[in-house]
């Protein structure tokens, strides 16, 4: 019964914080996503980019209020990695929120460091991608995995309700595995972030009143990566494939997107409108039907992932 509070507390925090963030952006005209002059933007008016801030506050205060002492060191390590990515990407939202301002040659090393440093911090408390249990291999695989997933979730943040909904479904899969296997750390993380994301979605469903921004997308991707790493086992391929399927559509679409862009000689940091959800919209599907298709596919992938792992 106590598990429900891991969800409800961050949900209640964010459901109260998000309207204040929307109001702040509307009054100050700060931290808003402006569509004009950017071919990738499909919204018409300025929208607040502070959704990631609301989720981060709800997640962190939820952990402070509810976290158990026996997971303290692991949670401190995870929160440290989370804050590094969140704060770097919050700066990214401020400096590079418009495509004309993007500097790929600067963003690439920043993202690499945003993957490596959290991987090192996690390894200090034994949270490593230990499929091949040798420290430097674990560190390399962990860094690559973090880099891949955080970018993959960000790619899905091009349509109202999509990235948040897909992440929520993935978190549900990890929470289910945590419950089945009696993993308190996984259950705490998954339910706490689920609560924060659920409240965000109330304001992000079409037509969105707030966006998660890079700060939200990348930090949510980091949490998914941590949950996946927590389930990895030495030389057990199922412990790798299962969580990849639970992360689901973001990682499959993200890997395909990077391959497609590299083969075309394009930077992976300069966006386009050729993602899976874009193609559905281009075929004439409504926003609601596109969300339903993506959510349905995500649910199927999560179920497959849980079955594979078990």
Residue 123 lies in a domain: yes
pLDDT for the residue 270: 67
How much of the chain, in percent, has pLDDT values that exceed 90?
68
Query: What is the reported pLDDT for 274?
Result: 75
Determine the pLDDT at residue 13: 97
Contact of 152 with 221, CB cutoff 8 Å: yes
Whether pTM exceeds 0.85? yes
Q: What is the pLDDT of residue 42?
A: 58
What does the DSSP assignment read for the chain?
Answer: -THHHHHHHHHHHHHHHHHHHHHHHHHH--SEE--TT-TT---SS-EE-THHHHHHHHHHHHHHHH--GGGHHHHHHHHHHHHHHHHHHHHHHHHS-SGGG--HHHHHHHHHHHHHHHHHHHHTTT---TTS--HHHHHHHHHHHHHHHHHHHHHTTTSTTHHHHHHHHHHHHHHHHHHHHT-HHHHHHHHHHHHHHHHHHHHHSSSPSB--HHHHHHHHHHHHHHHHHHT--TT-THHHHHHHHHH-HHHHHHHHHHHHHHHTT--TTS--S-SHHHHHHHTT--HHHHHHHHHHHHHHHHHHHHHHH-
Residue 157 lies in a domain: yes
Residue 295's pLDDT is 97
pLDDT, averaged per 10 consecutive residues of the chain (310 residues), comes to: 86 97 87 64 76 96 82 91 95 70 69 94 94 93 96 92 97 96 93 97 94 95 97 94 97 88 73 80 91 97 95
What are the structure tokens assigned to 200, written together? Answer: 């965000």
219/6 Cα distance (integer angstroms)? 19
Residue 31 in any domain: the answer is no
Residue 36 counted as domain residue: no
pLDDT value of residue 102? 55
Per the structure, how many domains does the chain have? 1
Give the domain extent around 152.
3-25+47-309
Of 135, 246, 121, 251, which Cα lies nearest the Cα of 186?
A: 246
Q: Is 302 within the bounds of a domain?
A: yes
Q: What is the pLDDT of residue 109?
A: 86
| The pLDDT of residue 94 | 83
> What does the pLDDT look like over 129-166, one tens digit per residue?
999 999 999 999 999 999 999 999 999 998 999 999 99
| Predicted local confidence at residue 33, as pLDDT | 76
Kindly state whether residue 35 falls inside one of the protein's structural domains: no
CA 171 to chain centre: 10
Asked whether 282 and 221 are in contact (CB, 8 A), the reply is: no
Q: CA-CA distance, 69 to 273, in Å (whole number)?
A: 46
91 found inside a domain: yes
Buried b (16+ CB within 10 A) or exposed e, 60-93: bbbbeebbeeebeebbebbbebbebbbebbbebb
Q: Rounded to an integer, what distance in angstroms lies between the CA atom of residue 31 and that of residue 28?
A: 9
DSSP codes of every residue in 246-276: HH-HHHHHHHHHHHHHHHTT--TTS--S-SH
pLDDT at 167 (0 to 100): 98
Distances from the Cα of 250 to the Cα of 7, 224, 276, angstroms: 23, 11, 10
- pLDDT at site 261: 78
Q: Is the peptide bond before 225 cis (omega within 30 degrees of 0)?
A: no
């Amino acid at each position: 019964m106590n598990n429900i509070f891991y969800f409800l507390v961050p949900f209640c925090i964010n459901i109260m914080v998000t309207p204040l963030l929307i109001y702040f952006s509307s009054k100050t005209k700060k931290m808003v996503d402006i569509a004009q002059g950017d071919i990738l933007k499909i919204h018409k008016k300025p929208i607040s980019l502070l959704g990631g801030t609301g989720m981060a506050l709800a997640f962190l205060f939820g952990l402070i209020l509810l976290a158990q002492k026996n997971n303290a060191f692991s949670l401190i390590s995870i929160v440290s990695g989370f804050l590094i990515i969140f704060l770097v990407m919050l700066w990214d939202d401020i400096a590079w929120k418009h495509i004309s301002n993007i500097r790929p040659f600067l963003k690439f090393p920043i993202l690499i460091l945003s993957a490596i440093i959290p991987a090192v911090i996690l390894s200090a408390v034994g949270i490593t991608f230990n499929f091949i249990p040798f420290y430097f291999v674990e560190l390399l695989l962990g860094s690559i995995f973090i880099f891949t997933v955080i970018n993959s979730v960000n790619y899905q943040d091009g349509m109202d309700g999509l990235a948040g909904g897909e992440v929520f479904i993935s978190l549900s899969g990890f929470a289910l595995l945590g419950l089945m296997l009696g993993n308190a750390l996984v259950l705490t993380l998954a339910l706490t972030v689920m609560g924060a994301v659920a409240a965000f979605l109330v304001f992000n469903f079409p037509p969105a009143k707030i966006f998660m921004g890079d700060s939200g997308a990348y930090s949510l991707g980091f949490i998914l990566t941590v949950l996946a790493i927590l389930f990895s086992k030495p030389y057990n391929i199922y412990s790798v494939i299962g969580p990849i399927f639970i992360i689901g559509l973001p990682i499959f679409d993200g890997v395909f997107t990077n391959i497609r862009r590299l083969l075309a000689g394009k930077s992976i940091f300069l966006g386009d409108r050729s993602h899976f959800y874009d193609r559905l919209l281009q075929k004439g599907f409504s926003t609601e039907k596109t969300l339903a298709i993506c959510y349905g596919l995500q649910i199927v992938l999560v179920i497959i992932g849980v079955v594979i792992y078990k």
